[in-house]
């Protein structure tokens, strides 16, 4: 084991540094421990300490260029956010300027949501929280009927049966994995039933010998038996994307079919920040809002600011001002022209390909696109672009690095092209 110099000795060698003394000492001790374990030469101590201190000045969360063609890239923050100027200093987050009295933070988003959806709605910090709150308030200690084919895992171990158990609701499974009938639901209703729950399978698709009742049928059954119908829609599509190749149910369609309550994400097809929305019958929404757990899951002022801006753009149909919707709505011919311009002078070719929505949304649905396929060592290309500033994230298929400009903003193209031209 190497005997390193003392902390005081290293402090003297480093000289004056623009960092807190305690932080410098901590980093010196970390580096000296590496020396003792023979994992670092003594000669490298000062350089390693300086590098460690400088890293603390750099933010970990940074902007990246998404060249993968995955619009809602889970690892890259899902829906890319539109430019946003947070309100500096104080704000009227919970202050009614008209009356001079305390207000509610819902006031900044609720009117927009009701205009968009036609029903009252509230926001919480994500859709998992929305599901939990709905189940906890409306069915804790009682039964919720769910088809076996909808007991899904959303991601990272988040499963509908698990969150239902945590909420205190009792799961009543009906039907089979591939087929559930309206009679299955009807026969399961008893004096302990508090909800009929429909879960939209936004991250997978069951095909073949399948069947399930329509939302209108479920709603009719619920009304006849006095049981509310709640749908977890997941992706939260508010804009009809069928003309652009994406067939995803609209939130309004569920409400118009008679569903009493819906919840969905805002950072997927809605195109906003990570938030969960709960919308539907006023009595149910207000019950959920009064639940003590609502405060634990409510949105902070930065999210409220971003959500309000997103909803306003949706209401005014300024779809191209929402980056996720702008990307989805791009025509393949437009992307081909951009790709061919960028490929000039590169050791690459432009080939037909497909973009995906991603983010646990629209399984098996792809959008035609054009790709810049780079020649050369794909792994080396990927590592070099990832180390670029800003980092550029691309994808490898069939041993070629592919660049999909669908998810690259026009003002990022020059940076991307410069990075591609300077191959090591």
CATH code of the domain in which 417 resides: 3.90.1150.180
Q: Are residues 182 and 257 in the same domain?
A: yes
Residue 125 inside a domain? The answer is yes
Strands 121-124 and 276-280: antiparallel
Q: Are residues 129 and 193 in the same domain?
A: yes
Q: Which of 27-41, 87-101, 185-199, 354-368 is least confident? A: 354-368
pLDDT at 139 over 90: yes
| 34-60 pLDDT tens trace | 999 989 999 999 999 999 999 999 999
Answer yes or no: are the C-beta atoms of 418 and 410 closer than 8 Å. no
**Amino acid 152: pLDDT:** 74
Q: CB–CB of 86/331 below 8 Å?
A: no
Residues 184 and 248 in one domain: yes
Average pLDDT of the chain?
Answer: 92
Using CA atoms, how far apart are residues 11 and 32, in angstroms rounded to an integer? 12
Tokens coding 268: 């997927």
Mark which of 253, 287, 317 sits at the end of a domain.
317
**pLDDT tens digits along 348-388:** 999 999 999 986 666 667 899 999 999 999 999 999 999 99
Within 10 angstroms of residue 56's Cβ, the number of other Cβ atoms is 11
- Burial pattern 152-177, b for ≥16 Cβ within 10 A else e, equals bebeeeeebeebbeebebbbbbbbee
Would you mind telling me the total number of residues written for the chain in this entry?
Answer: 424
Total domain count for the chain? 3
- Which pLDDT score, from 0 to 100, does residue 151 have? 82
In this structure, the answer to whether residues 137 and 228 fall within a common structural domain is yes
| Residue 2 covered by a domain | no
pLDDT of residue 159: 81
Encode pLDDT of 263-300 as tens digits. 999 999 999 999 999 999 999 999 999 999 999 999 99
Beta strands in 246-288 (DSSP E): 261-265, 276-280
CATH number for position 253:
3.40.640.10
pLDDT of residue 363: 64
Please give the DSSP secondary-structure letter assigned to residue 284. Answer: H
- Tell me, yes or no, whether 308 lies in a domain: yes
Q: What would the mean pLDDT of 204-227 be, rounded to a whole number?
A: 87
My answer on whether 208 and 301 are in the same domain is yes
| Rounded Cα distance, 279 and 295, in Å | 17
Q: With 70 as the cut, is the pLDDT of residue 72 above it?
A: yes
Number of H helices and E strands in the chain, helices first, is 16, 17
Does the pLDDT at position 329 exceed 80?
A: yes
pLDDT of residue 236: 85
Higher per-residue confidence, 204 vs 396: 396
Q: Is the pLDDT of residue 189 over 90?
A: yes
pLDDT of residue 1: 66
**Do both 192 and 255 map to the same domain?**
yes
Q: Range of 408's domain? A: 65-77+325-421
Of 317, 345, 373, at which residue does a domain stop? 317
pLDDT score for 23: 97
Domain end among 293, 317, 341: 317
Binned at pLDDT 50, 70 and 90, residue 157 comes out as low
Report whether pLDDT(150) > 90: no
Give the whole-angstrom CA distance, residue 208 versus residue 223. Answer: 31
Asked if residue 133 and residue 165 are part of one domain, the reply reads yes
Q: Which residues contact 295 (CB under 8 A, 6 or more apart)?
A: none
Residue that the structure tokens 């399930």 belong to:
212
**pLDDT digit string (tens) for 247-266?**
888 999 999 999 999 999 99
**108 — pLDDT class (breaks 50, 70, 90):** very high
Q: What percent of the chain has pLDDT over 70?
A: 95
* Backbone φ and ψ of 88, nearest 5°: -75, 155
In this predicted structure, the answer to whether residue 203 has a pLDDT above a threshold of 60 is no
List the one residue out of 275, 278, 254 whose CA is nearest residue 200: 254
For residue 86, is it within any domain? Answer: no
Mean pLDDT of all residues in 140-164: 84
Q: Residue 173: beta bridge partners?
A: 146
Collapsed DSSP state (helix, strand, coil) of residue 62: coil
pLDDT of 156: 64
Segment 390-396 shows an average pLDDT of: 97
Burial label, 196 (beta-carbon count in 10 A; 0-12, 13-18, 19+):
buried
Structure tokens, 200: 């939209």
Average pLDDT over residues 179-188: 94
Same domain, 370 and 292: no
Instruction: Return the structure tokens found at 379.
Output: 């792994």
**Which pLDDT value is given to residue 399?**
93
Whether cis (ω within 30° of 0) applies to the bond prior to 346 is no
One domain, residues 133 and 218: yes
> Both 184 and 231 in a single domain?
yes
Task: Say whether pLDDT at 113 is over 80.
Answer: yes
CB neighbours of 357 closer than 8 A, spacing ≥ 6?
Answer: 70, 71, 72, 246, 269, 328, 365, 367
pLDDT at 160: 82
H helices present in 118-201, as ranges: 127-139, 160-167, 182-188
Same domain assignment for residues 304 and 235? yes
pLDDT for position 161: 85
Q: How high is the pLDDT of residue 362?
A: 65
For position 206, what pLDDT does the model report?
67
Instruction: Give strand ranges (E) for 185-257.
Output: 193-199, 229-234
Q: Which two tokens stand for residue 254?
A: 């569920």
Is there a domain that residue 85 lies in? no
Q: pLDDT at position 254, please?
A: 96
3-state class of 348 per DSSP?
Answer: strand
Residue 174: inside a domain? yes
| Residue 87 falls inside a structural domain | no
Please give the Cα distance from 127 to 107 (Å, whole number): 20
Instruction: List pLDDT tens digits, range 299-324.
Output: 999 999 999 999 999 999 999 999 99
Q: Are residues 176 and 239 in the same domain?
A: yes
The strand pair at 95-96 and 101-102 is best described as antiparallel
Query: H/E/C letters for each residue in 289-315?
Result: HHCCCHHHHCCCHHHHHHHHHHHHHHH
Instruction: Give the pLDDT of residue 18.
Output: 95
pTM of the entire structure? 0.90
Q: Taking residues 76-88, report their average pLDDT.
A: 92
| Cα separation, 238 vs 248, whole angstroms | 10
User: Residue 246: is its pLDDT beyond 70?
Assistant: yes
In a domain, 69, yes or no: yes
Q: Is 203 left (phi over 0), alpha (psi -120 to 50) or beta?
A: alpha
Residue among 264, 319, 270 at smallest CA distance from 79: 270
pLDDT the model gives residue 3: 81
């Amino acid at each position: 084991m190497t005997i390193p110099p003392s902390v005081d000795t290293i402090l003297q060698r480093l000289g004056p540094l623009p960092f807190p003394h305690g932080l410098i000492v901590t980093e010196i001790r970390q580096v000296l421990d590496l020396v003792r374990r023979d994992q670092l030469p003594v000669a490298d101590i000062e350089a390693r300490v300086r590098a460690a201190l400088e890293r603390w000045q750099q933010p970990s969360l940074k902007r990246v260029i998404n060249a993968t063609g995955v619009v809602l890239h889970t690892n890259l923050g899902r829906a890319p956010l539109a430019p946003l100027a947070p309100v500096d200093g104080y704000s009227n987050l919970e202050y009614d300027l008209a009356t001079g009295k305390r207000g509610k933070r819902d006031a900044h988003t609720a009117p927009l949501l009701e205009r968009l959806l036609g029903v009252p709605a509230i926001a919480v910090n994500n859709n998992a929280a929305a599901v939990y709150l709905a189940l906890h308030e409306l069915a804790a200690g009682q039964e919720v009927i769910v088809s076996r084919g909808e007991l899904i895992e959303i991601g990272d171990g988040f499963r509908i049966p698990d969150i239902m158990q945590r909420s205190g609701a009792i799961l009543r499974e009906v039907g089979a994995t591939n087929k559930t009938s309206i009679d299955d639901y009807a026969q399961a209703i008893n004096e302990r039933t508090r909800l009929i729950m429909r879960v939209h399978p936004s991250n997978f698709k069951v095909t073949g010998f399948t069947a399930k009742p329509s939302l209108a049928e479920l709603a009719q059954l619920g009304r006849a038996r006095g049981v509310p119908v709640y749908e977890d829609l997941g992706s939260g599509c508010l804009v009809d994307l069928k003309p652009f190749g994406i067939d995803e149910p609209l939130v309004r369609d569920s409400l118009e079919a008679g569903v009493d309550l819906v919840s969905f994400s805002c950072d997927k097809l809605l195109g906003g920040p990570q938030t969960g929305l709960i919308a539907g019958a006023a009595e149910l929404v207000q019950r959920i809002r009064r639940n003590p757990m609502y405060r634990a899951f409510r949105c902070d002022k930065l999210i409220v600011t971003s959500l309000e801006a997103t909803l306003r753009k949706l209401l005014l149909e300024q779809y191209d001002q929402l980056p996720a919707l702008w990307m989805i709505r791009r025509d393949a011919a437009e992307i081909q022209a951009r790709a061919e311009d960028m490929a000039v002078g590169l050791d690459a070719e432009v080939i037909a390909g497909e973009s995906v929505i991603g983010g646990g949304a629209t399984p098996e649905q792809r959008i035609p696109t054009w790709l810049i396929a780079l020649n050369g060592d794909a792994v080396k290309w990927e590592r070099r672009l990832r180390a670029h500033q800003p980092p550029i994230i691309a994808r490898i298929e069939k041993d070629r690095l592919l660049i999909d400009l669908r998810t690259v903003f026009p003002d990022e193209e020059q940076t991307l092209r410069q990075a591609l031209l300077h191959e090591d």
